[in-house]
Structure 1
Amino acid sequence: MIQTRGSGILLHITSLPSTYGIGDFGPSAYRFVEALARARQHYWQILPLNPTRCVYANSPYCSPSGFAMNSLLISPDLLVRDGFLEAADLEPVPGFPEGRVVYEAVTWYKERLLSCAYRRFSESAPESGYEAFSAGTGWWLDDHALFVALKDHFHGLEWSRWPAEIRNREAEAIHEMRERLADRIRKEKFIQYLAAWQWSALHRHCTGRGIQIIGDIPIYVAYDSVDVWANPGIVQLDEDLRPTVVAGVPPDMFSATGQLWGNPVYDWPALRERGYDWWVSRVARSGELYDLFRIDHFRAFADYYEVPAGDATAENGTWVDGPGADFFEVLARRFPCFAIVAEDLGANTPAVQGLLDRFDFPGMKILLFAFGEG
């Protein structure tokens, strides 16, 4: 539950100052927390920490993983401080622009550093922290690391274009690839360990300074994601494992043709039969990372807009009932004290308002909108 009335600032990690081309979990983040504390703030709101990919314009709202963390947010300075790198390993640092992130250059640089850190790690004695992390997060990390390794192995191809036995996750084929790609899988687990190590320390520092972190759960995941590959039953796919409908919003004052997001749409009846297990896991993961969290596009739990796959615009979509109160009853039983903020912008229907009132979820009001007519 949200127990403290207070103010805070929305600032994503990527926007923090950095020598390395992108904001990270390093010294600038700690300085920002100190600034919040001096200003008597209570909250630091961030955008999703999920991995990004250039094909999705580096948006964390269309991520290849709903559970993993973005390796670009790992701090080189902290890798040196904690003995995973030597200071000389950071050189040469490219001449990154100060005012914006050039993702391609940052990705190349960070991949070089993380590969170097992994080599050092592989040559050292086993580390108990890494082993404990791998064992404790295997429920999402095993599939994520395998997916990343397979993406590399198949040169970035979308998973639907992988060999049929891998695409369909046939047990023997998956076992063979786990053994064949064991080192790349271990490297990805190590990278996620580093991200978790640094984020956990920063989160603890926030707690010590009286700052709560408001995280963010994107409503949808990307089609080319470990979430859909490993759990095809959670979204609406045809017999060839291709989306039958995709997400978006209808035409409005901002767009005459609507917004065609392109994410696969959840199969809510199937999820209901499974006790919403994938979503329960996702909320549990968010509870590990944040003090409270915003759920993106909250309206979709009341009713959501789906567009036939293959349409060029969102004009021919239809509204479909979402899971409604049944979904949140399951979450409330599983997480009695979970605290969310509903992203309820746009048309706030009676069904949406009913969910907000029934579960006492705070919504959002945008200050900019307060100065228009009416």
Structure 2
Amino acid sequence: MIKRSSGVLLHISTLPGKYGIGSFGKEAIEFSKLLKEMGFSYWQTLPFGTTDNYNSPYKSFSAFAGNPLFIDLFSLFEKGLLTEEELKENECENPYFVDFEWINKTRYKTFHLAYERIDEIEKDEIKKFVDKNSDWLPDFALYMTLREKNNNKDWYLWEDKNLKLHEEKAIEKALKEYEHEVFFHEFIQYEFYSQWEKTKKEINKNGIKMIGDMPIYVSLESSDVWANRELFNLSEDGSPRLVAGVPPDYFSEDGQMWGNPLYNWELMKKKDYDWWIKRIENSLLIYDMVRIDHFRAFSAYWAIPSEAENAKSGSWIKGPGMDFFNIVMKKFNNSQIIAEDLGDIDDDVRTLLKETNLPGMRVMQFAFLGDTNSIHLPHNYDRNTIAYTGTHDNNTILGWLWEASEENRKTALEYCNFTGDDWGKGGYYSESCRSIIRNLWQSVAELTIVPIQDLCGFGSDTKMNQPGRAKGNWAFRITKESLSQIDKDWIKNLNNIYRR
């Protein structure tokens, strides 16, 4: 069981800083100090992987590789790999959101400058890192190189059939031919992992543990699928027979068609789920705990014909269940894993969660959608629960109150003992938002999490993601000024009162 405690949800990209996006620099360490000062014990982030064309951290080119944009440029400067002038060129005037278009155009040019300046000692360290991560890194580095050589086309569109099918001799030849380009991507991953290791050590010293997020599925366009096609349910040409998603729900009336290939669970079982074990092991090197997104798919997963127009035509297929978790629990402690058990949950999912004894999730906003006995109402929680005011897919508390029906809003505010008439007042001292946070903190849930937007009383314009909408997500950033204006005494007192 997790000790009774609390935490804040804030992605690395959201951190303040000069260079257009949050990073593993001093701002991350300063934020952990702020959390400790307010009485928090946990910092939860979104996935650390590379992002897709729409900047989603839930669709990555690798289940193992880190997002290069989190690399701290000032640390590269301190190592002598960048000049002051180059740092200046990477400064961004807008502190409120990530300009992904600009940053993707400029940042890799800067990384290439740094790469050309590494010395022999650094090269030896990188080679040691590559050897240590030989299960995934060479394939990933070559894959990113080959994408560039193929005009950024996905692997199943490459003209060279031997490379497309990851044939051994073709791979060996390409590794030699593109050795310099491959080593660049290995250098990037070395910097990502070595910087984060140092930063996380400082964060842990400040008494804060990191909770990470693992998408259950990987992208068809990833090096994982390219190099391990047999582990996925694909046709001979590499196209998925069925794709992942969810049926119609609270977020989308057509359901969500994610497009990820589904796993070949039968073969994974024969291999003792080795790929999954390595994946979880890698995540727990990065984080102290990890939330596995879409836990319900281990019980049964929604499989949609790849040619379907939307997710409505999908069907449920039985997942690996306890056979998978029996292997996982031999290797890892169940207090290191959080099960994201949201969405369309049935008795089979509940039984699986109980058998694994993993902590599940509850979301305060879901408590007030008309169900008078919702499992998301705090009085219905059990102790082995991680409870949130909202997740990255939700509106902010204030935004939700504005957009909720009058009846649902009235029910929520009465439940949380808010008696004022200025519920729409936003900002750091919004009493309506505070009443909801306070009610969650009073619950029996061992761990409560509040997104940074809710701690600040921000509105819907600061939402991190709108499910079902491709563009305009993941860009929100917090400023140093906003962090300094948080009522630290109020939340510290709340953590003390409710023994968190």
- TM-score bin, normalised by smaller chain: over 0.9
Equivalent residue in structure 2 for 1:131, among 120, 127, 141: 127
Q: Which residue of 2 aligns with 1:18?
A: 17
Cα distance, 1:246–1:92 mapped onto 2, change above 3 Å = same
CA RMSD after TM alignment? 1.5
Partner SS for 2:33: helix
Q: Which moved more, 1:7-16 or 1:274-283?
A: 274-283
Is structure 2 residue 40 aligned with structure 1 residue 44?
no
- Tell me the CA shift for residue 336 of structure 1: 4.5
Give the counterpart letter for 2:77 in structure 1.
Answer: V
Alpha-carbon contact 2:216-2:294 (below 8 Å) kept: yes
Alpha-carbon contact 2:301-2:319 (below 8 Å) kept: yes
The total of aligned residue pairs comes to 370
Partner SS for 2:311: coil
Q: Which residue of 1 aligns with 2:146?
A: 150
Superposition pairs of residues 190-209 of structure 1, within 5 angstroms:
190-209=187-206
Q: Which residue of 1 aligns with 2:94?
A: 97
- Tell me the CA shift for residue 126 of structure 1: 4.6
- Tell me the CA shift for residue 98 of structure 1: 1.9
Alpha-carbon contact 1:332-1:338 (below 8 Å) kept: no
Cα distance, 1:244–1:96 mapped onto 2, change above 3 Å = farther
1:61-104: CA deviation from partner (whole Å, max 9, x where unpaired): 11110000000011111211233322222232354422111112
CA distance in 1: counterparts of 2:77 and 2:230, whole angstroms: 43
CA distance in 2: counterparts of 1:202 and 1:246, whole angstroms: 37
Alpha-carbon contact 1:287-1:338 (below 8 Å) kept: no
Partner SS for 2:237: coil
Is structure 2 residue 314 aligned with structure 1 residue 317?
yes
CA distance in 1: counterparts of 2:261 and 2:199, whole angstroms: 34
Q: Which runs of 5+ in 2 are unaligned?
A: 373-500
Q: Which residue of 2 aligns with 1:8?
A: 7
Alpha-carbon contact 2:231-2:263 (below 8 Å) kept: yes
Superposition pairs of residues 38-77 of structure 1, within 5 angstroms:
38-54=37-53, 57-77=54-74
Q: Which residue of 1 aligns with 2:291?
A: 294
Q: Which residue of 2 aligns with 1:219?
A: 216
Equivalent residue in structure 2 for 1:232, among 205, 229, 232: 229
Query: Post-superposition, which runs of at least 4 consecutive aligned residues in structure 1 deviate over 4 A?
Result: 123-128
Give the counterpart letter for 1:132 in structure 2.
Answer: K
- Tell me the CA shift for residue 124 of structure 1: 4.9
- Tell me the CA shift for residue 168 of structure 1: 1.1
CA distance in 2: counterparts of 1:353 and 1:110, whole angstroms: 45
Alpha-carbon contact 1:250-1:315 (below 8 Å) kept: yes
Partner SS for 1:32: helix
CA distance in 1: counterparts of 2:359 and 2:333, whole angstroms: 16
Cα distance, 1:338–1:370 mapped onto 2, change above 3 Å = closer
Superposition pairs of residues 248-327 of structure 1, within 5 angstroms:
248-327=245-324
Partner SS for 1:307: strand
Superposition pairs of residues 152-191 of structure 1, within 5 angstroms:
152-162=148-158, 163-191=160-188
CA distance in 2: counterparts of 1:293 and 1:124, whole angstroms: 36
Structure with max Cα Rg: 2
Give the counterpart letter for 1:311 in structure 2.
Answer: A
Give the counterpart letter for 1:286 in structure 2.
Answer: S
Percent identity over the alignment? Answer: 38
Q: Which moved more, 1:161-170 or 1:74-83?
A: 74-83
Is structure 2 residue 112 aligned with structure 1 residue 115?
yes
1:118-170: CA deviation from partner (whole Å, max 9, x where unpaired): 0101x554554323212211221111111111111111011001211101112
Alpha-carbon contact 2:335-2:358 (below 8 Å) kept: no
CA distance in 1: counterparts of 2:113 and 2:276, whole angstroms: 35
Alpha-carbon contact 2:265-2:320 (below 8 Å) kept: yes
CA distance in 2: counterparts of 1:245 and 1:72, whole angstroms: 32
- Tell me the CA shift for residue 115 of structure 1: 0.7
CA distance in 1: counterparts of 2:9 and 2:79, whole angstroms: 29
Partner SS for 1:358: helix
Alpha-carbon contact 2:334-2:357 (below 8 Å) kept: no
